[in-house]
Amino acid sequence: MEILLKWLTRDCGVVVTSGDVSYSMKNIGKEANVQVIKVLAEGEKAADHPITEADKGTVTIRDTLAKLDQQVDAIEKQIERYVASFFYVSTSTSSILPSLQR
């Protein structure tokens, strides 16, 4: 992938990349790497369209939303398992209770 990006950037001039950009998420104490890739329209020059902070921010937000989606999916599965186990326990104990009352 890196070779293809270098070729498209250096030789073809149709892509602008930021390389690996490290950014810090201070609120959760983590650091991550992000590579921004901007595809240029025909006739555009790389020098006229550098990677901006807004571009980096957009990619960061997109990655954060993808991670949140994964976390929400995992939490929903945990809730489903909890609810399923709750109903299993309540139905199995309800069949035992009448026999205990005798």
- In the beta sheet, which residues pair with residue 23? 32
Domain boundaries, the chain: 2-93
The reply to whether the predicted model has a pTM over 0.85 is no
What residue ranges in the chain does DSSP mark as E strands?
A: 15-17, 21-25, 30-34, 37-39
| Tens-place pLDDT, residues 47-88 | 898 989 898 889 889 989 999 999 999 999 999 998 888 776
- Given this model, what pLDDT does residue 73 score? 95
79 vs 15, 60, 74, CA distance in Å? 44, 29, 9
Q: How would you label 42-58 residue by residue, b for 16+ Cβ within 10 Å and e otherwise? A: eeeebeeeebeeebbee
Tokens for 56? Answer: 């980096």
- Given this model, what pLDDT does residue 32 score? 62
| Tens-place pLDDT, residues 35-51 | 888 899 988 998 898 98
Distance CA 93, CA 3 (A): 63
